Structure 1
Amino acid sequence: MLRFQVRGGQVADRLRADAKANQDLVLAAARRAFARDGADASLREIAKEAGVGIGTLYRRFPTREDLVWAVYSGEVDRICEEAQAPGVRPRVWMEDFLDFLAAKRAMADALKVVLAGDEERRLAIRTRITDALGSLLDAAADEGTVRGDVAALDVLMALGGIALIASEPGQRDQAGRLLDLLMDGLRPSR
């Protein structure tokens, strides 16, 4: 399953192309299943939806927590990369971030197990997201579309509050209105 390659005196492992494709299919299926059914989603159903055997799933993700962590950390990577992509607008990113928080909430119990006693890893994730948001806000401030005196952590906490207030699917319109209010507060005064 793994190939080893020596680079600069270090051994780096890489998944074979087919194993990587299977892993990506499992992660995509797990993302959908966790969003739909929470972290207790059936691993057999995830494997079936991915088109792989349950053994393939367990070979790469020996425990449910391993799979939850892989999905969650992949979503953290995605949301951070999106924040730093050229041309991304803060309001669009905030919508995606609310979706990220909804997916995180669906996996909350399993994430508690994964992160239990690992405050360093939890804080590292928050720092990554805050730094990515900070880059997005800095770029928007340079363009003159948001104020330059807003702390990324404050915006992140406001987004967390919006997610708590308007967490149900039927409240998406309300979440949008709250995001509009947040964006109004971020705009430079004229």
Structure 2
Amino acid sequence: MLGAAVAGLLLGLSLAAPPGPMNAVIAEESVARGFRSGVSAGLGAMSADACFLGLAWVGAATVLRDAPRLQGAILGIGGLLLLAFAFDAVRDVRGFTDGSDSTDGRGFTKAFVLALTNPFQLLWWLTVGVALLDPGRVTVEFGPLATTIATGTPVIVLGFFAGIGLWITAFPLALIGIGRRIDGFAPLVAAASALVLAGFGLTFLYRAAGLL
């Protein structure tokens, strides 16, 4: 049971921690509007993962995998949203104050809608996510040590969301802590987030054009 919980935790971190558009949104919300807004954005992304979990559980992942035009439409919508959020981040840079620690729900909504159209999360759920829910056993080796983990259990799913929860709390906290020590850090993060969002947005639109 402990092995399944740890495996779920690591899987959650494997989805939440890598650099990408979702972390750009969380970073921009954190430095522009404070810790609670950053966590709220993370909760939006995690709520989308809960939706993907339900879809994968009922087999919708297979339908999406075999529908390239639908994938292209999702990519196109995601690309347009990313460009809109990049413009929003640019406005935060130009009119930056210091980000009071409050939230108006914008971060949650932005991250939730974006996560639903984020092909990286879709791809994760079409591959690793399906394996996570498939009842069975997987043997994981750590050098001379090996352990067998049960998949498709509530424990591994709870561990998965615990891993995401750990990241969406620690990441905004770390950014705000660094920002308090380095002058000009917050506008720099907002500017970098705008570039990341715009870059991914254009990439998604290009890929969408190839699928439609």
The TM-score by the shorter chain falls in which range?
Answer: 0.3 to 0.5
- Which structure: greater helix fraction? 2
TM-score by length of 1: 0.34
Rg (Cα) greater in structure: 1
**Higher RCO (C-alpha 8 Å, min separation 6):** 2
TM-score by length of 2: 0.31
